[in-house]
A and B are shown apart, each in its own frame.
Chain A
Amino acid sequence: MGEVTHYGFPVRLWRALERHRPPGVNLLLRWRSPLRGPWLTSVLGLTLLISLPIVIVTGLLSYIAYGPQFGQAIPADVGWLKLPTFDWPTSPAWLYRLNQGVHVGLGLVLIPVVLAKLWSVIPRLFAWPPGRSIAQLLERLSLVMLVGGILFELVTGVLNIQYDYIFGFSFYTAHYFGAWVFIAGFVMHIALKIPRMVTGVRSLPLREVLRTDRTDTVAQPADPDGLVAADPSPATVSRRGALALIGGSALFMAVITAGQNIGGWTRPFALLLPRGRDHGDGPNDFQINRTAFAAGIIPETTGDSWHLTLSGGPTPVAVDRRTLEAMPQHTARLPIACVEGWSTTEVWSGVALRDLARLAGVPSPVSARVASLERYGAFNHSVLQGNQVVHPDALLALRVNGVDLSLDHGYPARVIVPALPGVHNTKWVASIDFQAV
């Protein structure tokens, strides 16, 4: 390169470090690929620069959708590490479904891109010396936040959507705070690297890359970051081939996961995901989030003795299922969408929550606390915002697809509210407490 090597303070330390190369480094690490270089790294960096903020924002929006104003967003205490709280809208009904479909779906699609990006820069990890100044040392530490952050988020997210809780800690807490570590590392990285990314993207014209086949693919000139191999082997794949491979892998991930959110005929394509499975053709044969058995719901409590307690008004009102069936019935086709990115749209019918509020003596509630028969479990109750109670399609559903709810889907009655996170659509409802102020 003909560039004079500069050392920061303390010069002697950095020089000594450079001289004391661990044995075997040269022997083990011979970078062969002629594809590594500023262009590939920058193009992958640009892809992630555009796409990862979408994953970040949808994740943070999901936290707001859980209702931090009621202390029911998890983790509850996040200080200033959240978007400003606002009332989550009820329209469009597919809002939460879209939000989580994008968050989880795009996260999965980006796995091959992230792995390719890490592959493209891995010579930097093993470079010796690890630094020549305090600045370089700090930057390396910041990369722990960046790389550790994205890998931690991907691993915990991927395990969570498959119900594998081998990590033992709270998924919500870890994924949420892990995200903020990543966000900090991401912003630091962007601030330092954007100029380099622009130079890198411009270092090869895209048209030229798309025209060059494998035999004509050669390494870029040596770069100051040391991404380009000093002694590259002949290319086994062209740059356009590598782009097709990475893009194709991302597309492949989309094809075998998106069905869990889109549903319909696309669902079976999600053939390795829990929510790509078939449940049968019956009206109650759709995805369950928690079985009645797991929730400890026994038939005795859901039989004729069951009644719903409506409170918040002058005196509590108790109604049984027959009374509910005699009230005006409302039908709505609504998706139920889980934080895990899967969704299913069904036709629900039952009593409008605003009719129940009127019955309770609270005609314009600002919130409502719904409690389940389920005695234990983090989601045996939920608080609904005023707009989520008074929306005409917000229901206490008794039936789905023309028949009574099955026990697994919340018989005798469950909540279904447009755009509400799935777990807040409480099943086996025992009481609703409407708040006037």
Chain B
Amino acid sequence: MSRYRAFYGAHPLHLLTMLAGFAVLGYVVATLTPKALWNPHVWWQSIAVWFAVAIIAHDLVLFPLYALADRLLTIPADRPARRPTRSAINYIRLPLLASALTFLVFLPGIIEQGAPTYQAATGQTQEPFLGRWLLLTAAMFGASAVVYAVRVARTRRRRVTDQT
């Protein structure tokens, strides 16, 4: 048993789980047929490509991008503040996150991609979505600004009353 572990690196149940899972993957690919994974005419419209790109797009594009954006946002917070004021970071982070999330999920409508199929299905155009998303973004940043302003004002008033 310990010799087995030393060789494989885990409990035999681990190997059984892996093999069973990969066998199911094999069955899925065999049922779909490997040919269906690949589009010989337009390579980037292949199921296999989209599967791989989904991982790459998240791990090597989306994550580095949002991590970098957040890093730029938090650099000022690294410096010790001269006086204790309420940190503004999360008041920017929150609407930024909501705006980015809605942009990501509703991108087709916002950039009017797939207009012919959209019209055939709904009888309408995607014209309102960009404006709606911009207004939603404006509302979220605006609301965050109002809440932040109220809190800053309250903190200041408290400080003033504390001093008198």
Contact = CB atoms under 8 A, between A and B. Distances in A.
Interface of A: 6-9, 75, 77-81, 108, 111-112, 118-119, 122, 125, 132-136, 138-139, 141-142, 144-145, 147-148, 151-152, 155-156, 158-159, 162-169, 173-174, 177-178, 180-181, 183-185, 187-188, 191-192, 233, 236-237, 241, 245, 249, 252-253, 256, 271-275, 277, 287-291, 293-294, 408
B109 A162 contact: yes
A55 to B, nearest CB: 16
Given A162-B108, A164-B117, A274-B109, 9 more contacts: A118-B59, A144-B55, A163-B108, A181-B25, A187-B21, A237-B90, A249-B97, A287-B122, A408-B123
Given A78-B31, A163-B122, A184-B21, A156 B7 contact: no
Interface of B, helix, strand, loop or mixed by DSSP: helix
B39 interface: yes
B50 A167 contact: yes
Interface of B: 6-10, 14-15, 17-18, 20-22, 24-25, 27-28, 31-32, 36, 39, 42, 45-47, 50-52, 54-55, 57-59, 63, 74, 77-78, 87, 89-90, 93-94, 97-98, 101-102, 105-106, 108-110, 113-114, 117-124, 126, 128-129, 132-133, 136
7 contacts: A6-B9, A80-B27, A111-B101, A151-B58, A178-B51, A271-B132, A274-B109
B101 A177 contact: no
Contact of B10 (A79, A135, A236, A290): A135
Contacts of B110: 272
Given A81-B28, A169-B47, A188-B18, A162 B106 contact: yes
Contact of A294 (B25, B74, B120): B120
Contacts of B28: 81, 177, 180-181, 184
Contacts of A112: 101
Contacts of A271: 132, 136
Given A78-B31, A236-B77, A135 B108 contact: no
B63 A152 contact: no
Given A163-B108, A180-B28, A290 B117 contact: no
Contacts of A144: 55
B31 A81 contact: yes
A159 B105 CA distance: 8
A142 B58 contact: no
A288 B59 CA distance: 38
B76 to A, nearest CB: 11
Q: Which 8 A-B pairs have the closest CB atoms?
A: A133-B9, A168-B45, A8-B9, A294-B120, A135-B9, A164-B108, A135-B10, A164-B114
Contacts of A187: 21
B51 A135 contact: no
Contact of B124 (A169, A237, A277): A277
A-side binding surface: helix, strand, loop or mixed? Answer: helix
A290 B50 contact: no
A289 B59 contact: no
A158 B105 contact: yes
A423 to B, nearest CB: 11
A134 B58 contact: no
A181 B48 CA distance: 12
Contacts of B46: 169
A241 B97 CA distance: 14
Contacts of A163: 108, 114, 117-118, 121-122
B164 to A, nearest CB: 27
Given A145-B25, A236-B90, A272-B102, A159 B108 contact: yes
Contacts of B55: 144, 147-148, 151
Contacts of A168: 39, 42, 45
B105 A173 contact: no
A11 to B, nearest CB: 9
B112 to A, nearest CB: 10
